[in-house]
Structure 1
Amino acid sequence: MGDPLNSNEPSKSRQRRYVTFRSYAPVSDPIDLNVDDSRAIACVAQIQQDLGCELPLVGKRFVVILESLFVAEEQKAYARVLRSLGGLVDFASKLWGNKEMRITSHVEGNWNQLNAAHTIALTKDIAKDVIPQLARYSAIIFSANYTMKRLSWLAEISTAKDSEELREARQNSDLGLLVDAAMRNERLVKAFNCHAIWALMTQPEHAQGITMAFNGVMAPEADALRIEVAPNPDGQDIHLHTHVDGKVVSSAAGVNGGTEALLRSLVRTILASER
């Protein structure tokens, strides 16, 4: 038996390290992502039926905040549902001084079963295009998965002299300033999907006492933020668990119908606030 480390034929364990990703062409709009949106289409029909109105969101604008490691199906659902109901939807992130930035989706699976990664090219910047124009939006959506964790990254981690300096940097970051502006805006509806309560870690004082649904892995952060846990009705699929506390809409999952459940609650909250 030869030495596998010196062999020209890699062993099976070594072969698992080399994976060729199928690469989809970058899209400039999540509506063009090559993923199944049948749940989103069904969600549109259900909302229209419940409201007895085909375009209840005419004249309303939404902004979705995201970063790399986004869930492709989630982002397409925002575009499909909100636009199909008559709304306008923008997608924004921190562009780091660039006119355009490409971000990549989360990839599920093991070494032998990997889904293809998706890429979105974004042109709207949180600091330049969203915060100054926040008044134009009916709602802001903070995306699921690890997008808000990535947006929380601070260059100051390597230069801060103490925790207080790092705390100030976090609050004055683009995400921190956005969260502060959004939470202070009493008219604006704020939606947090799954892991998105990470965004609130930049401005903890705005989270205290709010009742929210969130991914179970976020329990330590929710406790630190003094967020109240929204009870899940007996027998309900946790993926469909949402909660509304005033102008804050939240969900426990961004997949398996969770985003569509969030959107149903979001639409109801926006329309109810106008009555």
Structure 2
Amino acid sequence: MALSLAGKRVAVLVETEFIPIEIDYYLKQFPALGAQVDLLSYLWGKPSRTLVADIDNPDKIHDVRTLVVDKDVADASADDYDIVIMAANYCAVRLREILPMGSLGSPEEIATPPAVRFYASAMENKRILKGAMCHGLWILTPRPDLLKGRQVICHTVVFADILNAGATFVPAPSHVVVDDDLVTARSAADLDAYFQAIVAEADKRGA
């Protein structure tokens, strides 16, 4: 039986405070369907970087997971990928903030972080299938023009932000919403349904 995503490339934008089960899922399930997965983050001029995430475990006080990333989103092009996913939790918040510590920033700078530009570039390319779960849509709030009119679902923490950006919140009972080339899900609890929706849409589109 042919692998449904054979030869496809998947980019996952990730940062510290990622959700381990989400990243583990992608690293196992996408290759099982024949796709190559690249984890992208900021390397700050180094060949690799170790990201850290806390794990909710009442039996362990200091339970953490690490993840080594060796591809810098600043050097990557969204057009090289067939599927682009913004990892859940607070990854999007960290990836859209690269101003110097103590900087007040400016309205002109909010859309300039490389990860924001990378995901925005993916949004502008209809060939690329995009995914954002939980808090992931925060990567797009610096570019409200790309969220305006899109049908999405997200974590309630992000609800006000996506509405202010002009998106339409869809309270789907499945907790997953497919709007053409954009697949969104409410939370990591919906990971399996979210992944299946991405694969189904990729199959349908030949992404």
Moved over 4 A (4+): none
Q: TM-score, normalised by structure 1?
A: 0.70
- Counterpart AA for 2:117: L
Following the alignment from structure 2 to structure 1, what is the Cα–Cα distance between the partners of residues 20 and 8? Answer: 23
For 2:198, the equivalent position in structure 1 comes to: 266
Work out which of the residue numbers 186, 192, 197 in structure 2 matches 1:252: 186
Give the Cα–Cα distance (whole angstroms) in 2 for the partners of residues 145 and 96 of structure 1.
22
TM-score normalized by the length of structure 2: 0.92
How much does 1:57 deviate? Answer: 0.8
Q: By percentage of residues, which structure has more strand? A: 2
Relative to structure 1, the CA distance from residue 224 to residue 121 in structure 2 (aligned partners, 3 Å threshold; closer, same or farther) is: same
1:150 maps to which residue? 94
Paired residue for 1:116, among 47, 63, 66?
63
CA contact (8 A) 2:95 2:116 kept: no
How big is the shift at 1:135?
A: 2.3
Asked if the contact 1:104/1:118 (under 8 Å) is kept, the reply is yes
Distance in 2 between residues matched to 1:182 and 1:172, nearest whole Å: 15
> Could you tell me the percent identity over the aligned residues?
24
SS in 2 for 1:56: coil
1:137–1:156 CA distance, 2 compared to 1 (3 A): same
Deviations 1:198-220 (A, max 9, x none): 10112111001101111112111
Q: Is the 8 A contact 1:156 1:166 kept in 2?
A: no
Say which structure, 1 or 2, has more relative contact order (CA 8 Å, 6+ apart): 2
Equivalent position amino acid for 1:260 in 2: D
1:64 aligns with 2:8: no
* Corresponding position of 1:39: none
Asked whether the equivalents of residues 106 and 117 of structure 1 are also in contact (C-alpha less than 8 Å), the reply is: yes
Which structure has the larger Rg over C-alpha atoms? 1
Amino acid at match of 2:43: L
Q: Unaligned regions of 5+ residues in structure 1, if any? A: 1-52, 234-239
Q: CA deviation at 1:136?
A: 2.5
SS in 2 for 1:118: strand
Q: Does 1:173 align with 2:120?
A: no
After TM superposition, give the deviation of residue 179 of structure 1 in Å: 2.2
| 2:79 aligned counterpart, secondary structure | helix
Deviation track 1:156-214 (CA, whole Å, cap 9, x = no partner) reads 57344xxxx62221211112211221111110001001110110112111001101111
Q: Give the aligned length.
A: 207
Map of 2:43 onto structure 1: 95
What is the distance in 2 between the residues matched to 1:57 and 1:274? Answer: 9
Distance 1:203 1:217, change over 3 A: same
